[in-house]
């Protein structure tokens, strides 16, 4: 006979996903049975309830060791009785073939793949008309890229964003199918039973709507803490349960959240804050740029300068043309004064997040 092991759903850790480590060493996030069950229901209400069992086909090229694919793709698909099409690794042509063959209706993607749908010539070679909804998460997706992908695919496909972290089991916000914003770029309102606020980077005081600051979340899906790292836990989890996410965000009048950058990745130019994600969005809107990332480089006078690493789509793209393109579209303190460097590929995690620390190390010759 199988012995039943007593389980305290509120306190017993059931999975230990590790944060992606884009800014440092990965940390084990302690998630309980309650964390996962609650977040599954939160995911289901904001997204899964729009899926039709026996009709919707979800394609997810995500790695399932990552909490996004593990919960958002695998568990919601099983919960709703929908077909899930998976991939051992992402390949744009294979992805397009699978959408066409299996008539996938919904896709769970990350920004680099969404960017590929906006720019890759392979898209025109396959019938992707079955797709009716694309969800992008794991990293910010710029409004221009979101719009470009939607326009490129056509046939009435919708693209929405969700936001979360391993520390949140993972979902914190998501745009519901029936409440898509007319304007793009938002990761949606908070999911059920979740409180949110934006606080001043210096004082920690809550800010009014529309102002940018650190994004904070509180809810039943918040982790217990980091495994064997009580000091790191205290750095991000307050005594009254607020998770300091390290993301820079603003909240509009409807409660929709806009993630603008990572706190640790802000570039300080003469006291001004420069968000790499904003510059990356501008760079990726350039017709001759396939992908890009922005890092800080030290400068004796200014403190830090933004430098772009760019993957060219066409050979006629030059450093001067890229710098001029950005300068026309941003405030003076955000110009690429650190220069433009061309590279074959931007290093990223399996979940699609840019590994800036690797680019920084490369830039330093390490």
- pLDDT of res. 22: 47
80: which residues sit within 8 A by CB, 6+ positions away?
Answer: 44, 48, 51, 53, 56
C-alpha triplet 288, 289, 294: angle, nearest 5°: 150
Residues 6+ apart with CB under 8 A from 358: 347
pLDDT of residue 299: 87
In angstroms, the CA 255 to CA 190 distance is 8
Q: Indicate the helix (H) or strand (E) that contains 150.
A: helix 143-153
196 alpha-carbon distance from chain centroid: 18
Cα three-residue angle 331-337-343, rounded to 5 degrees: 115
The two three-digit tokens of residue 164, written as one number: 């979360």
Contacts of 359 (CB under 8 A, 6+ apart): 293, 295, 309, 346, 347
- Residue 283 pLDDT: 96
Secondary structure letter of residue 121 according to DSSP = G
Q: What is the mean pLDDT of each run of 10 residues along the chain (366 residues)?
A: 87 89 73 97 95 96 92 95 95 97 97 90 96 92 89 92 95 96 88 97 93 96 96 93 95 94 83 85 94 92 92 95 97 95 91 84 90
pLDDT at position 322 is 97
* CA atoms in the 13 A half-sphere facing the CB of 3: 2
Beta bridge partners of 308: 294, 340
H or E stretch at 37 = helix 33-46
Q: Is the dihedral of CA 212, 348, 312, 60 positive or negative?
A: negative
Sign (positive or negative) of CA dihedral 210, 244, 73, 111: positive
CA distance 93 to 103: 15
Sign of CA dihedral 201, 207, 212, 215: positive
Question: CB of 83 within 8 A of CB of 60?
Answer: no
């Amino acid at each position: 006979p199988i012995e039943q092991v007593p389980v305290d759903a509120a306190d017993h850790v059931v999975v230990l996903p590790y944060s992606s480590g884009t800014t440092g060493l990965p940390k084990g996030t302690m998630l309980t049975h309650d964390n996962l069950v609650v977040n599954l229901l939160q995911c289901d209400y904001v997204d899964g309830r729009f899926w039709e069992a026996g009709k919707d086909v979800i394609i997810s090229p995500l790695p399932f060791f990552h909490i996004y694919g593990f919960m958002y793709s695998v568990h919601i698909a099983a919960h709703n009785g929908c077909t899930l099409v998976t991939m051992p690794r992402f390949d744009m042509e294979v992805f397009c073939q699978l959408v066409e063959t299996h008539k996938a209706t919904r896709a769970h993607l990350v920004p680099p793949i969404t960017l590929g749908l906006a720019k890759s010539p392979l898209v025109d070679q396959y019938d992707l008309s079955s797709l009716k909804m694309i969800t992008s998460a794991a990293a910010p997706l710029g409004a221009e890229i979101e719009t470009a992908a939607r326009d490129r695919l056509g046939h009435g496909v919708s693209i929405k964003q969700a936001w979360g972290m391993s520390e949140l089991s993972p979902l914190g916000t998501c745009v519901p199918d029936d409440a898509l914003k007319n304007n793009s770029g938002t990761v949606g309102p908070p999911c059920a039973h979740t409180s949110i606020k934006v606080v001043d980077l210096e004082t920690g005081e809550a800010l009014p709507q529309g102002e940018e600051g650190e994004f904070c979340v509180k809810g039943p899906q918040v982790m217990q803490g980091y495994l064997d790292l009580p000091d790191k836990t205290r750095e991000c989890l307050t005594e009254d349960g607020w998770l300091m996410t390290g993301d820079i965000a603003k909240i509009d009048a409807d409660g929709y959240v806009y993630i603008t950058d990572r706190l640790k990745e802000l570039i300080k130019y003469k006291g001004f804050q420069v968000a790499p994600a904003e510059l990356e969005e501008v760079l990726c809107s350039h017709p001759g740029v396939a992908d890009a990332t922005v890092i800080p480089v030290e400068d004796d006078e200014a403190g830090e300068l933004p430098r772009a690493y760019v993957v060219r789509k066409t050979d006629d793209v030059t450093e001067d043309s890229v710098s001029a393109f950005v300068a026309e579209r941003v405030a003076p303190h955000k110009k690429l004064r650190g220069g433009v460097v061309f590279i074959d590929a931007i290093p990223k995690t399996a979940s699609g997040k840019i590994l800036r620390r690797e680019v920084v190390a490369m830039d330093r010759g390490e």
